[in-house]
Amino acid sequence: MKCPYCNSTETKVIDSRPVEEGLAIRRRRECEKCGKRFTTFEKIEESLLVVIKSDGKRESFDRNKIVNGILKACEKTNVTYEQIEKIATDIERGLNNTMEKEIDSHVIGGLIMDELKKLDQVAYVRFASVYHQFTDVNTFVKEINKLLGDTNTNAI
């Protein structure tokens, strides 16, 4: 493994431990040349998933897009990074378990919304506003009323 600081290939593992419920290994490494330490992760390479975007274009599944989208929705809330990571891991695992090679982006967005609805209502509405591309206040009100289980749009 190359050192990210000096590019030396002379590194050694000083600690290993399982993470992600045993599905990955976290390794703490030390460069024998510069002495700096860094962390690497080893995990099973999942089969390649392709996401079908709303415009019909296809792109490789990127777990980081899920994490970043949830992070933005959860800004200034009490949701922890560990909770966000767990949602992303659960969604990725669930998608891989479907054995489908192509997944519609709306399916992924719906899974994220389902998890955020259980976790934090503010984060849910924030994510929904981007995901559904809210264009006016009435759309926000409808989504909040739906969240509250009220079909009457005059509730708020």
For residue range 49-62, what is the model confidence (pLDDT) as tens digits?
A: 999 998 999 999 99
Residue corresponding to tokens 């590019």: 7
CA distance 143 to 156: 11
Q: For the whole model, what pTM was predicted?
A: 0.62
Please list, in sequence order, all residues whose beta carbon lies within 8 angstroms of the beta carbon of residue 21, skipping any fewer than 6 positions away: none
CA distance 123 to 47: 30
Q: Say if residues 28 and 37 touch (Cβ distance below 8 Å).
A: yes
CA distance 10 to 30: 9
Q: What's the pLDDT tens digit per position in 40-50?
A: 999 876 668 99
Q: What is the pLDDT along the chain (156 residues), one digit of tens a residue?
A: 899 999 999 999 999 999 888 888 999 999 999 999 999 999 876 668 999 998 999 999 999 999 999 999 999 999 999 999 999 999 998 998 888 889 999 999 999 999 999 999 899 988 988 877 777 777 778 777 877 775 444 444
What's the DSSP call for residue 101?
Answer: S
Question: If you average pLDDT over every residue of the chain, what do you get?
Answer: 88
Query: At 108, is the secondary structure helix, strand, or coil?
Result: helix
What's the DSSP call for residue 50?
Answer: E
Ordered by start, the domain boundaries in the chain are: 11-43, 50-148
pLDDT in the model for residue 153:
45
pLDDT in the model for residue 44:
76
In the beta sheet, which residues pair with residue 17? 26
